[in-house]
């Protein structure tokens, strides 16, 4: 027995070292000390006491003891634990994978803390609703080739806004109803971030974190997938906000809780597509909305088992465009066709490549909550050059009409290029789409036919750079103004949803982008895997590609 004792003590010591904060069975009433600092990465911890207020199969909900008065009751907190078990956990784990269990409690910790409330300044026109911090997955001391982050909580954990009905924190009132309704989607969003980071760190040995635009796009996909599970609907059903799809309050609630914010973000993108892109590095609302919609389009077009797509994107050693290319192929044609689909889907009878199978975006965004389908289009004037500036991965929309019996000459040129000679005849019927793939300038002839014709030209900036922008001039002769749809949007329709004002407050003022920048700067060197960001090379000659669709 004496000979075995040192061995036993060594084994116990090793177990404690592997898991210094292990808590096998979290129970309601237990109090944990957690660092709630959402600004500093590995130093300056802000330790708070948090009480376990609800426990589910896969989550433990905690409330910061410094939260304002008149917050959720234990029964109300239990709703979040139950919703996590019922909707969020199965949705995220089936599509993206399971997280690790570094604290060995078999639970994800969901912390409602006033530290999140403090991140929104007084009078701000945005709200920080929650966050996940990769810091908390790191050991506090160097271990197994991963550097230590002294203020890590060493737990699978994310942070959420606390109710503050009286506005005791920075004068910002946060009612229980608002926090409740906005938290469901945040559960899915932040949990996907946690899974993504956990698997890259401990399962996939990735040399870097995911690029922010793709990381956010996947988190918004997690919100959408949670809507499908909660509503009983699914992708590729061309969902519209009509009674056919939303006959019950249960389905409307599911949309408000899990889907509405994605459409609010998408609306921001549609207002200025030339200046916004799904692959930008700014992580603003428009980037998030377009990244979500582009990933949804790409999965729909690829077809088959889309769970494999999300699993592959999450379980990769690559990041950003390189990751996307490995899973979906060359992103340039996908981005170009996605841009066309944003105009043609459910408006013009076009080939399947130029449609969005999952959502009828025009009818959804026509709802009063979103203020209409606000895709920005530009009218071409006869003989007057139109100069555009288009960011990488996005496009502009130029509309014009060709009168009966006439032929239009439409020429596009980039700086340093000219268009000489006769235009190339392009004959289209309504719904047909012409595309060129040449990097050079173009001159196209488009006919009005017997009854006249309307066209939309969609120049696309075929670059995968997160910061690139190109200039383009379009000049057309023999044209006139369009006389009708498919733009502007259809009249408002559908059920009553949350207000547009409520949607617009679900912006974080750039907090999460700054958080990701800080944590990557501090944590990337701790990975110790000998690689910097796995950025992919841009095409040798970034192109301006032209699509033209006949709409009438």
The mean pLDDT value for 234-242 works out to 96
- Answer yes or no: is 271 within a domain: no
Which one of 179, 203, 227 terminates a domain? Answer: 203
**Residue that wins the pLDDT comparison between 504 and 196:** 196
**Residue that wins the pLDDT comparison between 374 and 529:** 374
- Answer yes or no: is 66 within a domain: yes
Which one of 137, 171, 203 terminates a domain? Answer: 203
pLDDT band at 14 (very low <50, low <70, confident <90, very high): very low
Omega of the bond leading into 488 within 30 degrees of 0 (cis): yes
Residue owning tokens 């060995």: 104
Cα gap 103→313, rounded to integer Å: 26
Q: Mind listing the pLDDT tens digit for each residue in 532-542?
A: 444 444 554 56
pLDDT score of 541: 55
- DSSP letter at 239? B
- Answer yes or no: is 253 within a domain: no
Q: How far is CA 404 from CA 155, 288, 326, 486, in A?
A: 69, 43, 48, 20
pLDDT band at 509 (very low <50, low <70, confident <90, very high): confident
Question: Angle at which helices 306-314 and 320-328 pack, to 10 degrees?
Answer: 150
pLDDT score of 226: 98
Q: Which two tokens stand for residue 110?
A: 């969901």
> How many domains would you assign to the chain?
2
Cα gap 111→63, rounded to integer Å: 6
- Answer yes or no: is 417 within a domain: yes
Q: Mind listing the pLDDT tens digit for each residue in 387-418?
A: 999 999 999 999 999 999 999 999 998 877 77
The mean pLDDT value for 118-147 works out to 94
pLDDT score of 512: 84
Residue 486 confidence (pLDDT) above 90? no
The mean pLDDT value for 9-15 works out to 37
pTM score: 0.92
Cβ pair 486, 415 in contact under 8 A:
no
The overall average pLDDT reported for the chain is 89
The mean pLDDT value for 337-343 works out to 98
pLDDT score of 505: 45
pLDDT score of 535: 46
Q: Mind listing the pLDDT tens digit for each residue in 427-457?
A: 999 999 999 865 546 899 999 999 999 999 9
pLDDT band at 6 (very low <50, low <70, confident <90, very high): very low
Residue 47 confidence (pLDDT) above 60? yes
Burial pattern 262-282, b for ≥16 Cβ within 10 A else e, equals bbbbbbbbbeebbbbbbbbeb
Which one of 171, 187, 203 terminates a domain? Answer: 203
Beta strands in 6-46 (DSSP E): 31-35
Q: Which two tokens stand for residue 490?
A: 């259809």
Residue 130 confidence (pLDDT) above 50? yes
What sign for the dihedral angle of Cα 343, 346, 349, 350?
positive
Question: Collapsing DSSP states into helix, strand and coil, what is residue 265?
Answer: helix
- Answer yes or no: is 498 within a domain: no
- Answer yes or no: is 175 within a domain: yes
Question: Angle at which helices 306-314 and 285-302 pack, to 10 degrees?
Answer: 130
The mean pLDDT value for 243-253 works out to 94
Residue 11 confidence (pLDDT) above 60? no
Q: Mind listing the pLDDT tens digit for each residue in 264-319?
A: 999 999 999 999 999 998 888 899 999 999 999 999 999 999 999 999 999 999 99
Residue 358 confidence (pLDDT) above 60? yes
- Answer yes or no: is 223 within a domain: no
Cα gap 364→503, rounded to integer Å: 14
Residue 214: strand pairing partners: none
Residue 42 confidence (pLDDT) above 90? yes
Q: Residue 466: which domain range?
A: 378-486+540-550
Residue 8 confidence (pLDDT) above 70? no
Q: Mind listing the pLDDT tens digit for each residue in 154-185?
A: 999 999 999 999 999 999 999 999 999 999 99
Cβ pair 416, 473 in contact under 8 A:
no
pLDDT score of 442: 84
Beta strands in 442-542 (DSSP E): 442-447, 453-462, 469-477
pLDDT score of 96: 98
- Answer yes or no: is 198 within a domain: yes
The mean pLDDT value for 37-50 works out to 96
What sign for the dihedral angle of Cα 233, 238, 239, 242?
negative
pLDDT score of 504: 44
């Amino acid at each position: 027995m004496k000979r075995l004792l040192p061995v036993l003590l060594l084994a116990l010591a090793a177990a404690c070292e592997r898991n210094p904060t292990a808590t096998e069975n979290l129970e309601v009433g237990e109090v944990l000390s957690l660092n709630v600092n959402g600004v500093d990465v590995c130093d300056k911890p802000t330790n708070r006491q948090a009480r376990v207020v609800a426990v589910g199969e896969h989550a433990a909900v905690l409330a910061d003891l410094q939260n304002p008065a008149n917050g959720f009751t234990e029964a109300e907190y239990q709703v979040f634990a139950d919703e996590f078990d019922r909707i969020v956990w199965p949705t995220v784990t089936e599509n993206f994978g399971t997280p690790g269990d570094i604290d060995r409690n078999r639970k994800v910790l969901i912390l409602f803390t006033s530290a999140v409330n403090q991140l929104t300044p007084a009078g701000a026109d945005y709200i920080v609703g929650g966050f996940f911090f990769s810091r908390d997955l790191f050991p506090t001391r160097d271990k197994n080739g991963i550097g230590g982050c002294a203020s890590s909580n060493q737990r699978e954990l994310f942070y959420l806004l606390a109710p503050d009905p009286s506005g005791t924190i920075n004068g910002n009132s946060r009612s229980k109803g608002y926090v409740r309704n906005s938290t469901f989607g945040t559960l899915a969003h932040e949990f996907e971030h946690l899974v993504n980071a956990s698997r890259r760190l401990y399962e996939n040995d990735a040399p870097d974190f995911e690029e922010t635009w793709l990381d956010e796009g996947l988190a918004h996909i997690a919100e959408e997938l949670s809507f499908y599970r909660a509503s009983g609907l699914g992708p590729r059903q061309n969902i519209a906000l009509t009674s056919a799809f939303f006959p019950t309050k249960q389905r409307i609630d599911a949309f408000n809780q899990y889907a509405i914010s994605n459409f609010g973000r998408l609306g921001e993108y549609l207002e200025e597509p030339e200046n916004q892109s799904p692959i930008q590095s700014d992580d603003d609302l428009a980037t998030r909305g377009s990244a979500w919609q582009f990933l949804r389009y790409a999965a729909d077009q690829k077809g088959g088992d889309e769970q494999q797509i999300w699993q592959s994107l999450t379980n990769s050693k690559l990041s950003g465009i390189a990751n996307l290319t490995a899973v979906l192929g060359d992103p340039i044609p996908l981005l170009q066709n996605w841009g066309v689909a944003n105009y043609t889907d459910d408006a013009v009878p076009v080939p399947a490549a130029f449609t969005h199978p999952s959502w009828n975006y025009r009818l959804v965004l026509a709802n009063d909550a979103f203020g209409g389908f606000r895709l920005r289009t530009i009218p071409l004037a006869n003989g007057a050059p139109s100069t555009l500036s288009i960011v990488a991965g996005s496009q502009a929309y130029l509309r014009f009409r060709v009168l009966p019996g006439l032929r239009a000459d439409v020429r596009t040129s980039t700086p340093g290029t000219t268009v000489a000679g006769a235009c190339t005849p392009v004959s289209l019927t309504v719904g047909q789409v012409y595309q060129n793939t040449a990097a050079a300038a173009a001159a196209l002839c488009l006919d009005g036919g017997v009854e006249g014709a309307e066209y939309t030209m969609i120049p696309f900036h075929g670059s995968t750079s997160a910061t690139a922008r190109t200039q383009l001039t379009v000049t057309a002769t023999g044209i006139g103004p369009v006389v009708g749809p498919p733009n502007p949007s259809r009249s408002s329709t559908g059920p009553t949803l949350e207000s547009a004002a409520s949607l617009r407050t679900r912006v974080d003022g750039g907090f999460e982008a700054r958080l990701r920048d800080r944590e990557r700067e501090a944590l990337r060197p701790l990975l110790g895997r000998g690689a910097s960001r796995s950025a992919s090379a841009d095409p040798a000659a970034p192109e301006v590609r032209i699509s033209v669709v006949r709409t009438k």
